Amino acid sequence: MKIEFFKHNVGAEEKQAVLAVLDSIFLTTGETVAQFEKDLANYLNIPYCIGLSHCTGALHLALLALDLKAGDEIITTPMTFVATSLVIAHIGAKPIWVDVEKDTGNLNTDLIEAAITSKTRAILPVHLYGQMCDMKAIRKIADKYGLVVIEDAAHALESERDGIRVGELSDVACFSFYATKSITSGEGGAIVTRSKRIADKLRLLRAHGINKEVLERYGQNYAHWDLVDLGWKYNMSNIQAALLLPQLKKIAVTWQRRKEIDLKYREAFQNMPKLYPNAKSAHHLSTVWVDPKKRDSVLQKLQNRGIGVAVNYRPIHLLSKFKELYKRESGSFPEAERIGNSTISLPLYPKLTKFELIYIIANLKQILE
């Protein structure tokens, strides 16, 4: 028995789409990327979408496009993948972590105001496991203190809460199409925004800061272009977009299948993050909480029985480099640490078979007894 932790959904349609791009003249950022940006913007009902090479780049450009700078403080969560705070460190700003809600692992919005200082410029929530943070509360605090809001929506393409969708109340929202995300091009990312000014800046910054994108340059007689900003090389390619377009069309179906599996885990195990009422989770990760003293041995036993697992996440303030830089000790964020010490992520993807699901549940139950 070998049950993968994750299997992607790339099939015949995606292969066909990639072959069509390979047979075309244009492999990098061209019409296929433009089509994907249009479709994703339509899906999310947000006017502007910029296709990028990964969500780490999306988060990085988001900070730059919103004029965040060295010395600024950005309020965010320690219960996330490292990229969320890494980009803050890279621009010389400081991640100000606040603890998470004990039932969900999402940023505890009640703790935000106490963390605000004269240097605070932004709030960067992460919609953990596919459940949206309380964006109404976050927007309210941001407006009161004149802060910008950046959503790390890497887990949350399909999410809604209290009638709000991702991208709706923030300045920008960042998405990932990394290998284990709900739609994937192996590597890939995007930003959505309602501001044309920010969208224009992001387009410039994803392509070195050059004032004519390559698609504009193609098909016309050569014309000189200029470097007008210090940008990065974070553009999405047509090959990535071709992989994503068919998956985006099927997103409701793959979401439904993940939801069914997540609910089966929830029937079997009580100790899981709570689902919010009046919300739609993206059901990106199914995590169970076990006794912290036994967590690592449970991880080993599941793998010995052929079940792929992951840990999302050990709290990032205790990882060596962040610890060295920001000097937060264990005990600083008790809820994030408790979750980090007890969490196990189980296989959750549409290709997981009924038989595999039954095998996982039965084995985990047996191990926990």
CA angle 137, 142, 147 (to 5 degrees): 160
- 238 contributes a contact to ligand PLP by CB under 6 A: no
* Contact residue for ligand PLP among 155, 280, 283, 317 (CB under 6 A): 155
> Are 337 and 331 contacting, i.e. CB atoms less than 8 angstroms apart?
yes
- Tokens 């993807």 locate to 349
- 80 contributes a contact to ligand PLP by CB under 6 A: yes
* Contact residue for ligand PLP among 55, 96, 202, 244 (CB under 6 A): 55
**Amino acid at site 31:** E
Q: Tell me which stretch binds ligand PLP (CB under 6 A): 51-59, 131-139, 223-231, 336-344.
A: 51-59
Q: Tell me phi and psi for residue 208, to 5 degrees.
A: 70, -15
C-alpha dist (Å) from residue 205 to 185, 202, 301: 22, 5, 46
- Considering the candidates 69, 136, 181, 301, report the single residue annotated as catalytic: 181
The CB-of-218 to ligand PLP minimum distance in angstroms stands at: 27
- 63 contributes a contact to ligand PLP by CB under 6 A: no
Strands 164-165 and 160-161: antiparallel
Helical residues (DSSP H) of the chain, grouped into ranges: 12-22, 31-44, 55-65, 83-90, 112-115, 135-145, 196-206, 214-217, 238-249, 251-268, 295-304, 320-326, 334-342, 354-368
The CB-of-313 to ligand PLP minimum distance in angstroms stands at: 8
Q: Which is nearer to ligand PLP, 111 or 310 (CB)?
A: 310
Q: Which is nearer to ligand PLP, 94 or 284 (CB)?
A: 284
The CB-of-291 to ligand PLP minimum distance in angstroms stands at: 26
> What x-and-dash track marks residues 168-197 binding ligand PLP by CB under 6 A?
--------x-x----------x--------
* Contact residue for ligand PLP among 18, 32, 36, 81 (CB under 6 A): 81
- 154 contributes a contact to ligand PLP by CB under 6 A: yes
DSSP letter for 162, please.
Answer: T
Strands lying side by side in the sheet with 160-161: 164-165, 160-161, 279-280
Q: What is the spatial distance between Cα 292 and Cα 242, in angstroms, rounded to a whole number? A: 43
The CB-of-62 to ligand PLP minimum distance in angstroms stands at: 11
Catalytic (active site) residue 69: no
Q: What is the spatial distance between Cα 112 and Cα 291, in angstroms, rounded to a whole number? A: 29
The CB-of-176 to ligand PLP minimum distance in angstroms stands at: 3
Under the rule (CB under 6 A), what is the footprint of ligand PLP? 54-56, 80-81, 83-84, 126, 152, 154-155, 176, 178, 189
Active site residue ranges: 181
